[in-house]
Amino acid sequence: MSPQSETETARPALTPVAILAGFAVLLGFQLAGEIFVVATRLILPSFAFPGPVAGMLLLLVFLTVRKSLDSSTNAVASGLIGVLSLLFVPSAVGVIQYGGVLVDWGGPLLLAVVLSTLATLLVTVGTFLWIAKLTGKQSP
Amino acid sequence: MSGISTIWVYLNTSPLLWLAVTIAAFLAAHFVGRKLGGSPLANSVLIAGAIIIALLLVSGTPYATYFEGAQFVHFLLGPATVALAVPLFKNLDKVRPVLLPMAGALLAGSLTAIGSAVAIVAAFGAPADIIASIAPKSTSAPIAMELARSLGGVPSLAAVLVILTGITGAVIVTPLMNFLRIKDYAARGFAVGVASHGIGTARAFQVNDVAGAFAGIAMALNGALTSFLILIWSLVFA
């Protein structure tokens, strides 16, 4: 049995304008993140950092400073995260463009991806639990 | 027959058809996943991708035509990434006590992700551009493409490897962690976020909200750390 617990958070009905406002907050922070990355490149040309991740960190700082989360941002964010898998489908279909490389190097690449992902999962979870035990701070 | 081909010609010039197909294929994949009791093998990205690839091959549609429609879905990845700050904010009290385990796990996991993938393809005698393309495979697609380019790799190949890595992690994480009897959802989520970026994070949110939040943090931190490690690597070896 997989521990499948669908988290159904009760969401109050939002007006269309509230949904639009929540969306505007996310797009605004994405834009701020993109601007931050482009501006940093003026000084550090090799700076490779995705704008949306910078936007996420900016929104996190904003929420932490303000210590509150409005219901419209919460609702739109929860909605988007709920269908996060869907958003990767167009990129996944893009695999068909690279049949040639995958035929030539498919075996080693697939082996590397699978073994490396397995090793990364084991090392990461092992280190996390090991240090948590050492510092006596097991999360509940 | 000419009526049908007229309709087909019209549909193929409009982004509507492939946008609708993308969403319909995802709903079908989601339905299959539900029927299989949320089995990790029934990964919705994998199933939906396979359905659409089959349709494109059968209809002889080029990827560029498909993406005309699919780009509207693809675009939402940006705001969805920003949205990950919300569960992170809600779980901040759970993050603070485990900052040290997170830092250690991030460094060890990130080095393993880059090092093991590079070592395996290098052992097969892969050329430098293939090695450079697989090095950032555990980060999200835009950052991996950026890093592959700066290392002399192929950005589009990097994107393919990122997707494969994401699907692999999303499929194996739950059976692996259950087999190891690891019940700490913070540690489980953090691991899949480091190993398998956004697709792993999407899976983590399906299983547990805390796991999802930690996967989101791990994905962001690993993107930053991988950029930093690869930057140092390229400075030392280039």
pLDDT in tens, B158-174: 888 998 999 999 999 99
Lowest mean pLDDT among A1-5, B137-141, B178-182, B218-222: A1-5
- CA of A35, closest CA in chain B: separation in Å? 14
B178, pLDDT greater than 80: yes
A99/B contact by beta carbon, under 8 A: no
A122, pLDDT greater than 50: yes
Q: In which residue are the tokens 């079908």 written?
A: B28
Structure tokens at B177: 């962690």
Partner-chain contact A124 B124, CB within 8 Å: no
Confidence (pLDDT) at B238: 56
Confidence (pLDDT) at A1: 34
Structure tokens at A60: 């996190």
Confidence (pLDDT) at A104: 79
Confidence (pLDDT) at B151: 84
Please tell me what DSSP assigns to residue B138.
T
Contacts of A59 in chain B (CB under 8 A): 82, 85-86
Pick from A3, A49, A101: CB nearest B227: A49
**pLDDT, tens digit, for every residue of B32-44?**
988 887 777 788 8
Backbone angles phi, psi at B195, to 5 degrees: -75, -40
Q: Which of B59, B61, B18, B141 is nearest to A97 (CA)?
A: B61
Confidence (pLDDT) at B237: 65
Lowest mean pLDDT among A32-46, A116-130, B51-65, B141-155: B141-155
Q: Which residues contact B162 (CB under 8 A, 6 or more apart)?
A: A91, B136, B137, B138, B139, B140, B141, B144, B197
Start-to-end CA distance of chain A, whole Å, equals 21
**pLDDT, tens digit, for every residue of A35-81?**
998 998 888 776 667 788 889 889 999 999 999 899 999 999 999 98
Confidence (pLDDT) at A3: 42
- Distance of alpha carbon B45 from its chain centroid, rounded? 9
Partner-chain contact A29 B85, CB within 8 Å: yes
Partner-chain contact A94 B63, CB within 8 Å: yes
Q: Which residue has the higher pLDDT, B15 or B26?
A: B26
Q: Which residues contact B194 (CB under 8 A, 6 or more apart)?
A: A120, A124, B105, B106, B109, B110, B113, B138, B218, B219, B221, B222
H/E element holding B222?
Answer: helix B209-237
**pLDDT, tens digit, for every residue of B104-159?**
999 999 999 999 999 999 999 889 989 999 999 999 887 888 788 888 888 888 88
Structure tokens at A33: 């993140």
Lowest mean pLDDT among A10-19, B117-126, B207-216: A10-19
Q: Cβ–Cβ contacts within 10 Å for residue A13, how many? A: 6
Q: What is the mean pLDDT of residues B68-77?
A: 92
Q: Judged by CB atoms within 8 Å, which residues 1-40 of A form the interface with B?
A: 2-7, 23, 26-27, 29-30, 33
d(CA B36, CA B21): 22
Confidence (pLDDT) at A86: 92
d(CA A40, CA A53): 14
Residue type, A68: S
Partner-chain contact A57 B201, CB within 8 Å: no
Confidence (pLDDT) at A127: 97
- CA of B13, closest CA in chain A: separation in Å? 18
Q: What percentage of chain B has pLDDT greater than the value 70?
A: 97
Q: Is the separation of the CB atoms in B187 and B109 below 8 Å?
A: no
ipTM reported for the complex, 2 dp:
0.86
